[in-house]
Amino acid sequence: MSYSMKETVDTGLSRRRFLTGALAAGAALTLADRLALAQTMASGGLTAKDIHGIGVEPGLVRMALNENPIGPSPRALQAIAENMFKINRYSFGGGDIFGALAEFDGIELPPPPPSRSGGTGRMGGGFRFRRRTPFFITAGSGALLSQISLAYLSKGGTEVIEADMGYGDVSGEAENYQEAGLDVNIVRVPVKDYKHDLDAMLGAITPKTSVVVITNPNNPTGTLLSFEEQEKFVAAVPENVLVVIDEAYIHFVRDPEYKTAVSLATRHDNVIVTRTFSKVFGMPAMRLGYGICSQAVQEKLRFYSTGRANALAMAAGEASLKDRNHYNRSRAVVQHFRDRLEDEFTKMGLEYIPSESNFMMVDLGKPSMNIMREMFQKGVMVTNRRRQQMPTWIRVSSGDERETEVFLNVLKEALGKTS
Ligand SMILES: Cc1ncc(COP(=O)(O)O)c(C=O)c1O
């Protein structure tokens, strides 16, 4: 059996599994499910062949791309279904995603502006003036990071500071500009204990610096900065430097009382918090993300806009924000995954980085490439994209309970074989 990176949801089986899986996403495993799982584990262990993951071909355990194994909210699917017959029309925004974002992120919005026709506004009644909110919606947060790079770095005579290792999207864009002959400086500041070294990042700022990027929790290390650390950092950064705080994985932080950087973005004109619907909300293929930032930053970004998020994505996003059940369930799945791995890695004597995200880095103690290949042959996909810096480590993304068991079984086999 061979596997491809391509997502194939074309078989009736996987389509059915996607729908039932997504619709059941609100419910935890039943007692019968748990007993069946315990039985299979006791009788020699699950293999990838037992797995029909949501959104992937049967027999593939895809734990490489930091996706949500339980799929999107059923409410998001319903919103897509309700809106799909309108896609022959240009959309001018029928829902209230701004209201839903404001509620989710605890931000108070100014009242909506009057419509140009004097009525309550919409197509047919009249256009609204653009609502001034702190939200800047894009087709995925990757697109937003590109737009930030264009707006703040592509003129040349600029500099970006990012952690090494960090997500690296903005410095990656900067590399493209360098190749195109632009004068863009890239400063990569080594992490300390796998965490952003904010003092060193601050010390690296020069008069040329345009952007500093923080990924929190960090990818790939999964480490977390406190609100206070970030607040102190932002206060010390010159106001002409944009601080990007990428919170793609913020929803997986263990502490329910954790304070996010949202208030830094609403208080400081030079801070943007970026978020995505690709992770906890489970809809990466829809491409939806947003930034929380000042009107000044929005004006700069708008100049480099290359297209809006689509209507189905916006409807699905709005519905997801209102589905606390799916949100909590997604968090619980990740919590189980982390606890289970920590437990097993400890028993196996493997070093790992405790994670505040939906993935974890683990040191296999030997070159990871062969082990990863062998795991892939057995239907389990993980990544060692950072093999240059950490050649014996892999990053494994959350699976559901059964996928996590298969990952552990296959990892143990692969390690046993290559020892
Ligand atoms: C830290 C971080 N930021 C941003 C993104 C981009 O996410 P998307 O473009 O799907 O919103 C990713 C994707 O994995 C990520 O890991």
pLDDT at 36: 64
Residues 6+ apart with CB under 8 A from 391: 367, 368, 369, 384
- Model confidence over 120-143: pLDDT tens digits? 444 444 455 677 999 999 999 999
pTM of the predicted model as reported, rounded to 2 decimal places: 0.89
The CATH number of residue 145's host domain is 3.40.640.10
Q: Is residue 288 assigned to a domain? A: yes
Q: Is residue 410 assigned to a domain? A: yes
Domain co-membership, 104 together with 29: no
Residue 142 CA, ligand 1 centroid: distance in Å: 6
Nearest CA to ligand 1 atom 15: 248
321, 338, 364: which is the final residue of a domain? 321
- Model confidence over 28-84: pLDDT tens digits? 556 666 666 666 655 458 999 999 999 999 999 999 999 999 999 999 999 999 999
Domain co-membership, 284 together with 376: no
Domain co-membership, 68 together with 210: no
Q: How many domains does the chain have?
A: 2
Structure tokens at 107: 């931000």
Residue 213's beta-bridge partner residues?
Answer: 162, 244
Query: For ligand 1, what atom is nearest to the CA of residue 284?
Result: 10
Q: Are 174 and 210 in contact (CB under 8 A)?
A: no
SS (H, E, C) 69-137: CCCCCHHHHHHHHHHHHHCCCCCCCCCCHHHHHHHHHCCCCCCCCCECCCCCCECCCECECCCCCCEEE
Helix, strand, or coil (residue 168) = coil
Domain co-membership, 280 together with 168: yes
Q: Is residue 275 assigned to a domain? A: yes
Domain co-membership, 212 together with 122: yes
Residue 280 CA, ligand 1 centroid: distance in Å: 12
Q: Is residue 48 assigned to a domain? A: yes
For a mutational test of ligand 1's pocket, the pick from 276, 286, 357, i.e. the residue with the most ligand atoms closer than 8 A to its C-beta, is 276
Pocket flag, ligand 1, residue 282 (CB < 6 Å): no
| Structural domain for 414, as ranges | 12-73+325-418
Percent of the chain with pLDDT over 70: 85
- Model confidence over 101-118: pLDDT tens digits? 999 999 999 887 766 554
Domain co-membership, 210 together with 291: yes
When pLDDT is cut at 50, 70 and 90, the band that residue 95 belongs to is confident
- Model confidence over 200-214: pLDDT tens digits? 999 999 999 999 999
Average pLDDT for residues 89-102, to the nearest whole number? 90
- Tell me what the pLDDT averaged over the chain comes to: 89
Q: Is residue 5 assigned to a domain? A: no
pLDDT at 45: 83
Is 236 a residue whose pLDDT tops 50? yes
Domain co-membership, 294 together with 348: no
- Model confidence over 305-354: pLDDT tens digits? 888 899 999 999 999 999 999 999 999 999 999 999 999 999 999 999 99
Domain co-membership, 268 together with 337: no
